[in-house]
Amino acid sequence: MMLLPPFVMMRFTNVITTAAASFEKVTFANIGTVNGGSMAQCLVYLTVHWFFWMFFRWYLEQVVVGGFGTPKHPLFLFQREFWDGLLGKSAQTNTKATLQDLEHLPEDEKKAGLVRPRDVDKEHERIIDSLKNPEPDNMDAVRIVNMHKQFPGATPKDPPKTAVRSVSLGVKQRECFGLLGHNGAGKTTVINMMTGLFPPTSGTGLIGNFDIATDLDKIYSTMGVCPQHNILWGELSAKVHQELFVRL
């Protein structure tokens, strides 16, 4: 029963109440002997419970998505990247997906007959080449690699809804890039995946050399955000607006 925190707290309260009713003074000198040592035992169990349940809550926040977010692998604690980041070590970051998976279209798109236009295919090949040869001069600031997103249907019988179809593009350093498209083209879905709101079905994205599948904490430290709606204050200059949104 001592494995249940409410029972431990109930027993601890009962010991305190019994000591108070018998006018027994409890000090650090006799806390180990009051009621056969029950009070000290309860304090030890409560301390252990606190650390265990705080850790368990933190772990669930990392691996279970509650609405929005990108979950980590259930065994992320045993991955080197986690400990390198925790200890402040710099490590070469590779994409979670294999190059073979990123290089080719998903099977459902192949069956649907999707063929990339020539210019789109050239851009995809350029991004894949930057992954094969990760030289500083060959690295874009932002890389979206074969990113694909499907949402489940409204009912189990409904087919999945494809929101993003194998997008590949790169944004170079110090380049201002505009992502244009009609309503429902998948622009917001791509941005949401790049910012970790939800994971891609396949493919990945990189900010510098950080993968959105494994390095969101590092990405957030360098990423700014501006809300979708035009939130502007007349008292602030254009420069101050940029500084404000970059620091959000």
- Residue 74's pLDDT is 87
Q: For the range 228-235, what are the long-range contacts, defined as Cβ-Cβ under 8 Å and sequence gap of 24 or more?
A: 228/188
10 Å CB burial of residue 94 (0-12, 13-18, 19+) is: middle
Give the residue numbers spanning the domain of 48.
5-63
Boundary-marking domain end, from 40, 63, 86: 63
Q: Tell me how many domains the chain contains.
A: 2
Same domain, 51 and 114: no
Boundary-marking domain end, from 14, 42, 63: 63
Please write the tens of the pLDDT for every residue from 154-183: 888 888 888 998 999 999 988 889 889 898
User: Residue 194: which residues within 8 A CB-CB, separation 6 or more?
Assistant: 142, 144, 205, 207, 212
Whether the Cβ atoms of residue 82 and residue 214 lie closer than 8 Å to each other: no
Please write the tens of the pLDDT for every residue from 120-155: 999 999 998 888 887 777 678 999 999 999 898 888
Same domain, 47 and 100: no
Same domain, 55 and 138: no
Same domain, 209 and 115: yes
Output the tens digit of pLDDT for each of the chain's 248 residues. 788 888 999 988 888 888 888 887 888 788 888 878 888 889 999 999 999 999 999 999 888 877 667 788 888 888 777 777 667 655 555 555 677 778 888 877 888 888 888 999 999 999 988 888 877 776 789 999 999 998 988 888 888 888 998 999 999 988 889 889 898 889 999 999 998 888 898 899 999 888 888 888 888 888 877 766 667 788 889 899 888 877 77
Residues paired with 144 in a beta bridge: 169, 205
pLDDT exceeding 70 applies to what percent of the chain? 91
DSSP code for 115: -
Helix axis angle, 5-21 to 38-63, nearest 10°: 150
User: Residue 31: which residues within 8 A CB-CB, separation 6 or more?
Assistant: 39, 40, 43
Confirm whether 89 is domain-assigned.
no
CA atoms of 80 and 62, how far apart (whole Å) = 16
Whether the Cβ atoms of residue 2 and residue 8 lie closer than 8 Å to each other: yes
